[in-house]
Amino acid sequence: MKKVPVKVDGRDLILTNLDKVLYPEVGFTKAEVIDYYTRVAPVLLPHLRGRPLTVKRYPDGVTGPFFFEKNAPEHTPRWIRTVNLPAPGSTKNRESIDFAVVDDLPTLVFYANLAALELHVPQWRVGDDGRALPPDTLVFDLDPGAPATIVECCRVALVLRELLDEEGLRAFPKTSGSKGLQLYADWDCREEPSAYAKRLAQLLEKRHPREIVSVMAKAARPGKVFIDWSQNNPAKTTVAPYSLRARERPTVSTPLLWEEVEHCERPEELVFTAQDALDRVEKHGDLFRRA
């Protein structure tokens, strides 16, 4: 195993297997994964800071086995911030988990070196004392049931945007980096977020029964867009803006302009790779930045 010592913002790290290909279809290596996360960090880190991290690691690349990891690895450097939080329903019967919190570039590079391709975070942050704060974000995950695609998700996103606007909430769209679309809004804790999101999803299903479904049953989804409201559950996470996805190519969960949503006619129009995402940041800045 080839080891390369580096210093990132004053922190010492050992990078390994930089030439390992993690996306075989396009020859995208671990070095390129680390490079992407380093270059996108200025816009990515604000969406990770304070949020307990869950990752999907692909040590042998996207065509190999993967695993979810919530607990910070045993070899996590002491300078990485961790928070101990309750873990109800843990698959490993743990009462609590030591989550890492990605507050800075060295921590991000540490995880990229672990082939943590996907970064997932909840809709809430922790305070300086490590305790969970109330949710600050509302999310709707629009999942198309074949033959529906992201094009149909865009149409649903527009009616959902209108409803959220009526509710006094400003929506921000992004691709999932996979096949769907996600809408985020700043959340003011006016009620329990999952119940609120479910109610809106059911309302839109009632208004547009041929296009929208609000239930999780797979049998109900073909040809429709499932508005997944459940990711507002405090125990759940959603892929972070600018995170890579473990697809055939290094696609990215990419913030969008509303005009791109309004004018989308073909699914490929809203597929963005790591380089595409970096080019968009250079052109637009952070489209997910709350202003």
Contacts for 108 with CB less than 8 Å, ≥ 6 apart = 37, 38, 41, 44, 45, 48, 102
From residue 107, how far is each of 117, 237, 245, 258 by CA, in Å? 14, 19, 19, 32
Q: For the chain, what percent of residues have pLDDT higher than 70?
A: 98
Quote the mean pLDDT of the chain.
95
Give the mean pLDDT of 184-188. 97
Give the mean pLDDT of 18-24. 98
Confidence category of residue 31, pLDDT binned at 50, 70, 90: very high
pLDDT attached to residue 238: 97
pLDDT attached to residue 8: 98
**pLDDT of 60 over the 80 cut:** yes
Q: Which two tokens stand for residue 92?
A: 């490993």
- In tens, the pLDDT along 209-241 reads 999 999 987 777 899 999 999 999 999 999 999
- In tens, the pLDDT along 264-290 reads 999 999 999 999 999 999 999 999 997
Other C-beta atoms lying within 10 Å of the C-beta of residue 94: 13
Please tell me the total number of residues recorded for the chain in this structure: 291
Which helix or strand (DSSP H or E) is residue 70 part of? Answer: none
Give the mean pLDDT of 124-148. 96
pLDDT attached to residue 90: 59
pLDDT attached to residue 217: 78
Of 13, 20, 183, the residue nearest 104 (C-alpha):
13
pLDDT attached to residue 195: 97
Q: Which two tokens stand for residue 213?
A: 């479904």
Give the mean pLDDT of 234-262. 97
